[in-house]
Chains A and B, each alone.
Chain A
Amino acid sequence: MKKEHASFNPYDNNGGTCVAIAGADYCVIAADTRMSSGYNILTRDYSKVCKLADKCLLASSGFQADVKALQKVLGARHLIYQHQHNKQMSCPAMAQLLSNTLYYKRFFPYYAFNVLGGLDDEGKGVVYTYDAVGSYEKVGYSSQGSGSTLIMPFLDNQLKSPSPLLLPPQDAVTPLSEAEAVDLVKTTFVSAAERDIYTGDKLEIVILNADGIRREYMDLRKD
Protein backbone atom coordinates (compact mmCIF):
# COMPACT_ATOMS: atom_id res chain seq x y z
CA MET A 1 0.00 0.00 0.00
CA LYS A 2 1.25 3.44 -0.83
CA LYS A 3 1.88 5.79 2.03
CA GLU A 4 -0.42 8.79 1.77
CA HIS A 5 1.12 11.07 4.37
CA ALA A 6 4.36 11.58 6.25
CA SER A 7 4.26 9.64 9.50
CA PHE A 8 4.31 11.58 12.75
CA ASN A 9 7.22 10.80 15.02
CA PRO A 10 6.27 11.29 18.66
CA TYR A 11 9.84 10.95 19.94
CA ASP A 12 12.89 13.20 20.03
CA ASN A 13 16.26 12.63 21.66
CA ASN A 14 17.39 15.47 23.88
CA GLY A 15 20.78 13.89 24.63
CA GLY A 16 22.70 14.03 27.88
CA THR A 17 24.60 11.56 30.01
CA CYS A 18 23.99 10.20 33.52
CA VAL A 19 26.34 8.32 35.85
CA ALA A 20 25.75 6.79 39.29
CA ILE A 21 28.24 5.17 41.65
CA ALA A 22 27.34 3.33 44.87
CA GLY A 23 29.75 3.26 47.79
CA ALA A 24 29.75 1.70 51.26
CA ASP A 25 27.96 4.65 52.90
CA TYR A 26 27.19 7.03 50.04
CA CYS A 27 25.81 7.23 46.53
CA VAL A 28 26.97 9.65 43.85
CA ILE A 29 24.57 10.54 41.03
CA ALA A 30 25.75 12.88 38.29
CA ALA A 31 24.51 14.22 34.98
CA ASP A 32 25.43 16.99 32.58
CA THR A 33 23.01 19.91 32.27
CA ARG A 34 22.83 20.30 28.49
CA MET A 35 19.55 19.74 26.70
CA SER A 36 19.75 19.58 22.93
CA SER A 37 17.80 18.61 19.83
CA GLY A 38 19.53 17.79 16.55
CA TYR A 39 22.41 20.24 16.21
CA ASN A 40 20.78 22.84 18.50
CA ILE A 41 21.30 23.49 22.18
CA LEU A 42 17.90 24.12 23.79
CA THR A 43 19.27 25.05 27.21
CA ARG A 44 22.61 24.83 29.00
CA ASP A 45 21.11 24.62 32.46
CA TYR A 46 18.66 21.76 32.74
CA SER A 47 18.88 19.42 35.70
CA LYS A 48 18.48 15.75 34.81
CA VAL A 49 18.63 14.60 38.44
CA CYS A 50 15.32 14.37 40.27
CA LYS A 51 14.75 13.67 43.96
CA LEU A 52 12.06 11.02 44.28
CA ALA A 53 12.31 10.27 48.01
CA ASP A 54 14.57 11.21 50.90
CA LYS A 55 17.08 8.51 50.01
CA CYS A 56 16.33 8.02 46.35
CA LEU A 57 17.48 10.01 43.31
CA LEU A 58 16.68 9.47 39.64
CA ALA A 59 18.85 10.66 36.75
CA SER A 60 17.35 10.31 33.27
CA SER A 61 18.29 11.19 29.73
CA GLY A 62 16.42 10.62 26.49
CA PHE A 63 13.24 12.49 25.55
CA GLN A 64 12.67 15.31 28.03
CA ALA A 65 8.85 15.33 27.74
CA ASP A 66 8.71 11.61 28.55
CA VAL A 67 11.19 12.04 31.39
CA LYS A 68 9.05 14.82 32.89
CA ALA A 69 5.88 12.70 32.55
CA LEU A 70 7.62 9.74 34.15
CA GLN A 71 8.88 11.85 37.07
CA LYS A 72 5.34 13.19 37.59
CA VAL A 73 3.85 9.68 37.67
CA LEU A 74 6.50 8.49 40.13
CA GLY A 75 5.98 11.57 42.28
CA ALA A 76 2.24 10.94 42.43
CA ARG A 77 2.66 7.27 43.23
CA HIS A 78 5.14 8.17 45.96
CA LEU A 79 2.67 10.66 47.47
CA ILE A 80 -0.05 7.99 47.62
CA TYR A 81 2.45 5.61 49.20
CA GLN A 82 3.27 8.18 51.88
CA HIS A 83 -0.42 8.71 52.69
CA GLN A 84 -1.06 4.97 52.91
CA HIS A 85 2.06 3.94 54.85
CA ASN A 86 3.05 7.14 56.60
CA LYS A 87 6.71 6.78 55.56
CA GLN A 88 9.08 7.45 52.69
CA MET A 89 9.47 4.77 50.06
CA SER A 90 12.73 2.82 50.30
CA CYS A 91 15.12 2.82 47.37
CA PRO A 92 14.62 -0.87 46.41
CA ALA A 93 10.83 -0.30 46.47
CA MET A 94 11.17 2.75 44.26
CA ALA A 95 13.35 0.71 41.89
CA GLN A 96 10.61 -1.87 41.47
CA LEU A 97 7.98 0.85 41.06
CA LEU A 98 10.03 2.50 38.31
CA SER A 99 10.37 -0.82 36.49
CA ASN A 100 6.61 -1.43 36.69
CA THR A 101 5.84 2.10 35.51
CA LEU A 102 8.12 1.67 32.50
CA TYR A 103 6.77 -1.77 31.59
CA TYR A 104 3.19 -0.49 31.88
CA LYS A 105 3.91 1.35 28.64
CA ARG A 106 5.65 -1.58 26.97
CA PHE A 107 4.23 -0.88 23.49
CA PHE A 108 4.40 2.94 23.56
CA PRO A 109 7.38 3.34 25.86
CA TYR A 110 8.66 6.32 27.76
CA TYR A 111 11.76 7.25 25.78
CA ALA A 112 13.81 7.61 28.96
CA PHE A 113 17.08 5.99 30.00
CA ASN A 114 17.30 5.95 33.75
CA VAL A 115 19.73 5.32 36.54
CA LEU A 116 18.34 5.26 40.04
CA GLY A 117 20.69 5.83 42.95
CA GLY A 118 20.14 5.91 46.66
CA LEU A 119 20.74 4.37 50.04
CA ASP A 120 19.14 1.12 51.16
CA ASP A 121 17.67 0.40 54.62
CA GLU A 122 21.14 -0.16 56.11
CA GLY A 123 22.44 3.09 54.67
CA LYS A 124 24.53 1.37 51.98
CA GLY A 125 24.73 2.86 48.49
CA VAL A 126 22.71 1.21 45.73
CA VAL A 127 22.42 1.85 42.01
CA TYR A 128 19.77 0.46 39.67
CA THR A 129 20.11 0.74 35.91
CA TYR A 130 17.24 0.47 33.40
CA ASP A 131 16.35 0.13 29.77
CA ALA A 132 13.43 2.06 28.26
CA VAL A 133 10.84 -0.67 28.95
CA GLY A 134 11.65 -1.52 32.54
CA SER A 135 14.28 -4.25 32.52
CA TYR A 136 16.48 -3.41 35.50
CA GLU A 137 19.46 -4.60 37.45
CA LYS A 138 21.11 -3.72 40.74
CA VAL A 139 24.71 -2.74 40.11
CA GLY A 140 27.63 -0.98 41.79
CA TYR A 141 27.94 1.71 39.13
CA SER A 142 26.27 2.57 35.87
CA SER A 143 26.02 5.08 33.05
CA GLN A 144 23.15 5.91 30.71
CA GLY A 145 22.51 8.31 27.85
CA SER A 146 24.36 9.65 24.82
CA GLY A 147 27.85 9.43 26.34
CA SER A 148 27.39 6.12 28.14
CA THR A 149 29.37 4.10 25.57
CA LEU A 150 32.34 6.38 26.20
CA ILE A 151 32.10 6.34 29.98
CA MET A 152 31.27 2.70 30.68
CA PRO A 153 34.63 1.14 29.67
CA PHE A 154 36.55 3.51 31.93
CA LEU A 155 34.24 2.84 34.87
CA ASP A 156 34.69 -0.90 34.23
CA ASN A 157 38.42 -0.42 34.24
CA GLN A 158 38.50 1.56 37.47
CA LEU A 159 35.71 -0.11 39.44
CA LYS A 160 35.47 -3.64 38.07
CA SER A 161 32.76 -5.23 40.20
CA PRO A 162 32.47 -8.93 41.13
CA SER A 163 30.34 -11.12 38.86
CA PRO A 164 26.66 -11.23 39.86
CA LEU A 165 26.78 -15.01 39.34
CA LEU A 166 29.18 -15.63 42.24
CA LEU A 167 27.97 -17.65 45.22
CA PRO A 168 27.57 -16.48 47.89
CA PRO A 169 26.57 -13.15 46.29
CA GLN A 170 29.30 -10.53 46.54
CA ASP A 171 28.71 -6.92 47.44
CA ALA A 172 28.47 -4.75 44.33
CA VAL A 173 29.43 -1.47 46.03
CA THR A 174 32.65 0.17 44.90
CA PRO A 175 35.72 0.32 47.15
CA LEU A 176 36.32 4.04 46.60
CA SER A 177 35.95 6.75 49.20
CA GLU A 178 33.36 9.45 48.59
CA ALA A 179 35.94 12.03 47.49
CA GLU A 180 37.57 9.53 45.11
CA ALA A 181 34.22 8.68 43.57
CA VAL A 182 33.41 12.35 42.96
CA ASP A 183 36.84 12.81 41.40
CA LEU A 184 36.27 9.80 39.11
CA VAL A 185 32.88 11.13 38.01
CA LYS A 186 34.47 14.47 37.09
CA THR A 187 37.18 12.75 35.04
CA THR A 188 34.70 10.59 33.14
CA PHE A 189 32.44 13.51 32.27
CA VAL A 190 35.29 15.72 31.10
CA SER A 191 36.42 12.86 28.81
CA ALA A 192 32.91 12.26 27.50
CA ALA A 193 32.36 15.97 26.84
CA GLU A 194 35.50 16.00 24.68
CA ARG A 195 34.06 13.46 22.24
CA ASP A 196 30.27 13.41 22.59
CA ILE A 197 28.58 16.47 21.12
CA TYR A 198 25.45 16.03 23.26
CA THR A 199 27.37 16.12 26.57
CA GLY A 200 28.64 19.45 27.93
CA ASP A 201 28.00 22.84 29.50
CA LYS A 202 27.86 21.89 33.18
CA LEU A 203 28.13 18.84 35.40
CA GLU A 204 25.73 18.42 38.30
CA ILE A 205 26.92 15.97 40.97
CA VAL A 206 24.52 14.97 43.71
CA ILE A 207 26.00 13.16 46.71
CA LEU A 208 23.69 11.24 48.99
CA ASN A 209 24.97 10.06 52.40
CA ALA A 210 23.89 9.77 56.03
CA ASP A 211 24.08 13.57 56.40
CA GLY A 212 21.63 14.12 53.56
CA ILE A 213 21.95 15.47 50.04
CA ARG A 214 24.81 17.66 48.79
CA ARG A 215 25.09 19.17 45.32
CA GLU A 216 28.28 20.13 43.47
CA TYR A 217 28.66 21.83 40.10
CA MET A 218 31.54 21.89 37.65
CA ASP A 219 31.96 23.50 34.21
CA LEU A 220 32.26 21.32 31.12
CA ARG A 221 33.02 22.25 27.51
CA LYS A 222 30.46 24.67 26.13
CA ASP A 223 30.93 23.94 22.39
Chain B
Amino acid sequence: MSIFEYNGSALVAMVGKNCFAIASDRRLGVQLQTIATDFQRIHKIHDRLFLGLSGLGTDTQTLYQRLVFRHKLYQLREERDMKPETFASLVSAILYEKRFGPYFCQPVIAGLSDEDKPFICTMDSIGAKELAKDFVVAGTAGESLYGACEAMFKPDMEPEELFETISQALLSSVDRDCLSGWGGHVYVV
Protein backbone atom coordinates (compact mmCIF):
# COMPACT_ATOMS: atom_id res chain seq x y z
CA MET B 1 0.00 0.00 0.00
CA SER B 2 1.14 3.53 -0.69
CA ILE B 3 1.20 6.01 2.18
CA PHE B 4 -1.08 8.28 0.14
CA GLU B 5 -3.78 5.63 0.59
CA TYR B 6 -3.50 5.46 4.38
CA ASN B 7 -6.26 7.95 5.16
CA GLY B 8 -8.05 8.14 1.79
CA SER B 9 -9.22 11.28 0.03
CA ALA B 10 -10.81 12.75 -3.08
CA LEU B 11 -10.19 16.30 -4.25
CA VAL B 12 -11.20 18.10 -7.39
CA ALA B 13 -11.25 21.68 -8.69
CA MET B 14 -12.91 22.97 -11.85
CA VAL B 15 -12.94 26.22 -13.78
CA GLY B 16 -16.14 27.89 -14.97
CA LYS B 17 -16.95 31.26 -16.47
CA ASN B 18 -15.36 33.83 -14.13
CA CYS B 19 -15.73 31.34 -11.30
CA PHE B 20 -14.24 28.17 -9.95
CA ALA B 21 -15.34 25.29 -7.74
CA ILE B 22 -13.33 23.10 -5.42
CA ALA B 23 -14.74 19.98 -3.81
CA SER B 24 -13.61 17.19 -1.51
CA ASP B 25 -15.01 14.13 0.23
CA ARG B 26 -15.55 14.06 4.01
CA ARG B 27 -14.03 10.72 5.01
CA LEU B 28 -10.99 10.21 7.22
CA GLY B 29 -10.01 6.58 7.60
CA VAL B 30 -7.16 4.43 8.77
CA GLN B 31 -6.81 2.11 5.81
CA LEU B 32 -10.24 0.48 5.42
CA GLN B 33 -11.66 1.60 8.77
CA THR B 34 -13.52 4.89 8.83
CA ILE B 35 -12.51 7.20 11.68
CA ALA B 36 -14.36 10.41 10.90
CA THR B 37 -17.08 11.41 8.47
CA ASP B 38 -16.78 15.19 8.67
CA PHE B 39 -13.12 15.75 7.89
CA GLN B 40 -12.09 19.11 6.44
CA ARG B 41 -9.66 18.83 3.53
CA ILE B 42 -10.38 22.22 1.97
CA HIS B 43 -9.20 25.32 3.75
CA LYS B 44 -9.83 28.97 3.08
CA ILE B 45 -6.62 30.96 2.78
CA HIS B 46 -8.47 34.18 2.05
CA ASP B 47 -11.77 35.17 0.43
CA ARG B 48 -10.72 34.27 -3.09
CA LEU B 49 -8.20 31.51 -2.45
CA PHE B 50 -8.83 27.93 -1.34
CA LEU B 51 -6.41 25.14 -0.64
CA GLY B 52 -7.27 21.44 -0.68
CA LEU B 53 -4.83 18.92 0.76
CA SER B 54 -5.05 15.21 0.02
CA GLY B 55 -2.84 12.44 1.36
CA LEU B 56 -1.64 11.58 4.85
CA GLY B 57 -3.83 13.39 7.40
CA THR B 58 -1.05 14.37 9.77
CA ASP B 59 1.05 15.86 6.98
CA THR B 60 -1.85 17.77 5.46
CA GLN B 61 -2.52 19.45 8.80
CA THR B 62 1.14 20.27 9.45
CA LEU B 63 1.54 21.63 5.95
CA TYR B 64 -1.66 23.67 6.27
CA GLN B 65 -0.39 25.26 9.48
CA ARG B 66 2.94 26.16 7.89
CA LEU B 67 1.20 27.66 4.87
CA VAL B 68 -1.20 29.74 6.95
CA PHE B 69 1.77 30.99 8.95
CA ARG B 70 3.64 31.99 5.82
CA HIS B 71 0.54 33.66 4.38
CA LYS B 72 -0.01 35.69 7.55
CA LEU B 73 3.61 36.85 7.48
CA TYR B 74 3.07 37.91 3.87
CA GLN B 75 -0.10 39.80 4.81
CA LEU B 76 1.69 41.65 7.59
CA ARG B 77 4.63 42.57 5.42
CA GLU B 78 2.78 43.42 2.22
CA GLU B 79 -0.61 44.55 3.59
CA ARG B 80 -2.46 42.57 0.91
CA ASP B 81 -3.60 39.03 0.15
CA MET B 82 -1.46 36.65 -1.86
CA LYS B 83 -2.26 36.09 -5.51
CA PRO B 84 -3.12 32.45 -6.30
CA GLU B 85 -0.06 32.15 -8.57
CA THR B 86 2.21 33.42 -5.79
CA PHE B 87 0.64 31.07 -3.28
CA ALA B 88 1.14 28.12 -5.65
CA SER B 89 4.83 28.98 -5.94
CA LEU B 90 5.08 29.17 -2.15
CA VAL B 91 3.50 25.74 -1.73
CA SER B 92 5.75 24.34 -4.44
CA ALA B 93 8.88 25.75 -2.77
CA ILE B 94 7.89 24.41 0.66
CA LEU B 95 7.25 20.96 -0.78
CA TYR B 96 10.44 20.86 -2.84
CA GLU B 97 12.48 21.81 0.20
CA LYS B 98 11.63 18.34 1.45
CA ARG B 99 12.56 16.65 -1.84
CA PHE B 100 14.27 13.72 -0.12
CA GLY B 101 11.86 13.33 2.80
CA PRO B 102 8.56 14.62 1.47
CA TYR B 103 5.25 15.47 3.08
CA PHE B 104 2.91 12.73 1.87
CA CYS B 105 0.52 15.26 0.55
CA GLN B 106 -0.86 16.33 -2.81
CA PRO B 107 -2.27 19.87 -2.76
CA VAL B 108 -4.95 21.42 -4.96
CA ILE B 109 -5.01 25.22 -5.15
CA ALA B 110 -7.92 27.19 -6.54
CA GLY B 111 -8.37 30.94 -6.52
CA LEU B 112 -9.54 34.05 -8.29
CA SER B 113 -6.88 36.48 -9.46
CA ASP B 114 -7.20 40.27 -9.33
CA GLU B 115 -9.26 40.46 -12.52
CA ASP B 116 -11.53 37.64 -11.24
CA LYS B 117 -9.80 35.22 -13.57
CA PRO B 118 -9.99 31.69 -12.13
CA PHE B 119 -6.75 29.84 -11.38
CA ILE B 120 -6.45 26.17 -10.50
CA CYS B 121 -3.37 24.07 -9.94
CA THR B 122 -2.23 20.83 -8.38
CA MET B 123 1.15 19.40 -7.45
CA ASP B 124 2.74 16.10 -6.61
CA SER B 125 4.19 15.61 -3.13
CA ILE B 126 7.49 17.28 -4.06
CA GLY B 127 6.05 20.38 -5.65
CA ALA B 128 5.91 19.75 -9.40
CA LYS B 129 3.30 22.30 -10.41
CA GLU B 130 0.64 21.30 -12.87
CA LEU B 131 -1.43 24.18 -14.18
CA ALA B 132 -4.60 23.29 -16.01
CA LYS B 133 -7.23 25.29 -17.84
CA ASP B 134 -10.12 22.89 -17.16
CA PHE B 135 -9.92 20.75 -14.03
CA VAL B 136 -7.45 19.21 -11.58
CA VAL B 137 -7.84 16.20 -9.28
CA ALA B 138 -5.98 14.58 -6.40
CA GLY B 139 -6.31 11.83 -3.84
CA THR B 140 -7.07 8.10 -3.83
CA ALA B 141 -10.08 8.63 -6.09
CA GLY B 142 -7.89 10.57 -8.55
CA GLU B 143 -8.14 8.08 -11.41
CA SER B 144 -11.92 7.81 -11.15
CA LEU B 145 -12.13 11.59 -10.98
CA TYR B 146 -10.04 11.97 -14.12
CA GLY B 147 -12.47 9.70 -15.97
CA ALA B 148 -15.58 11.41 -14.63
CA CYS B 149 -14.31 14.98 -15.16
CA GLU B 150 -12.94 14.21 -18.63
CA ALA B 151 -16.40 13.03 -19.68
CA MET B 152 -18.51 15.63 -17.85
CA PHE B 153 -16.49 18.85 -18.07
CA LYS B 154 -17.64 21.62 -20.41
CA PRO B 155 -15.84 24.95 -20.81
CA ASP B 156 -17.35 28.25 -19.59
CA MET B 157 -19.99 26.90 -17.20
CA GLU B 158 -22.07 29.25 -15.05
CA PRO B 159 -21.83 28.74 -11.23
CA GLU B 160 -25.03 26.65 -10.94
CA GLU B 161 -24.05 24.27 -13.72
CA LEU B 162 -20.50 24.12 -12.44
CA PHE B 163 -21.77 23.10 -9.00
CA GLU B 164 -23.90 20.32 -10.48
CA THR B 165 -21.08 19.01 -12.66
CA ILE B 166 -18.41 18.97 -9.96
CA SER B 167 -20.82 17.37 -7.47
CA GLN B 168 -21.86 14.64 -9.88
CA ALA B 169 -18.23 13.96 -10.80
CA LEU B 170 -17.22 13.77 -7.14
CA LEU B 171 -20.11 11.59 -6.02
CA SER B 172 -19.84 9.08 -8.84
CA SER B 173 -16.08 8.85 -8.36
CA VAL B 174 -16.05 8.27 -4.61
CA ASP B 175 -18.62 5.50 -5.11
CA ARG B 176 -15.92 3.56 -6.98
CA ASP B 177 -13.21 4.27 -4.41
CA CYS B 178 -13.25 2.33 -1.12
CA LEU B 179 -11.09 4.89 0.68
CA SER B 180 -13.14 8.03 0.15
CA GLY B 181 -16.77 8.96 0.47
CA TRP B 182 -19.33 10.07 3.06
CA GLY B 183 -20.61 12.95 0.98
CA GLY B 184 -18.66 16.03 0.09
CA HIS B 185 -17.93 19.71 0.58
CA VAL B 186 -18.24 21.96 -2.46
CA TYR B 187 -17.08 25.57 -2.60
CA VAL B 188 -18.10 27.71 -5.56
CA VAL B 189 -16.42 31.13 -5.80
Contact = CB atoms under 8 A, between A and B. Distances in A.
Interface of A: 147, 149-154, 156-157, 187-188, 191-192, 194-195
B172 A150 contact: no
Interface string B126-139: 00000000000000
Which 5 A-B pairs give the minimum distances between C-beta atoms? A150-B147, A191-B150, A157-B172, A191-B151, A153-B172
B176 interface: yes
Contacts, number: 48
Interface of B: 143-148, 150-152, 168-169, 172-173, 175-176
B146 A154 contact: no
Contacts of A151: 147
A163 B150 CA distance: 27
Contacts of A147: 147
B172 A154 contact: yes
B150 A153 contact: no
Secondary structure call for the B interface: helix
Secondary structure call for the A interface: helix
B151 A154 contact: yes
A150 B144 contact: yes
B150 A149 contact: no
Among B143, B168, B175, find the residue whose CB has the most chain A CB atoms closer than 10 A.
B143
Nearest to A151: B147
B143 A149 contact: yes
Among B146, B150, B173, find the residue whose CB has the most chain A CB atoms closer than 10 A.
B150
A150 B142 CA distance: 9
A157 B146 contact: no
A151 B146 CA distance: 9
Contacts of A156: 172, 175-176
A192 B150 CA distance: 8
A30 to B, nearest CB: 15
A112 B144 CA distance: 22
A150 B168 contact: no
Contacts of A152: 144, 147, 176
Contacts of A157: 148, 152, 168, 172
B176 A194 contact: no
Contacts of B151: 154, 187-188, 191
Contacts of A149: 143-144, 147, 176
Contacts of A188: 147, 151
B151 to A, nearest CB: 4
A195 B147 contact: yes
Contacts of B168: 157
A195 B146 CA distance: 7
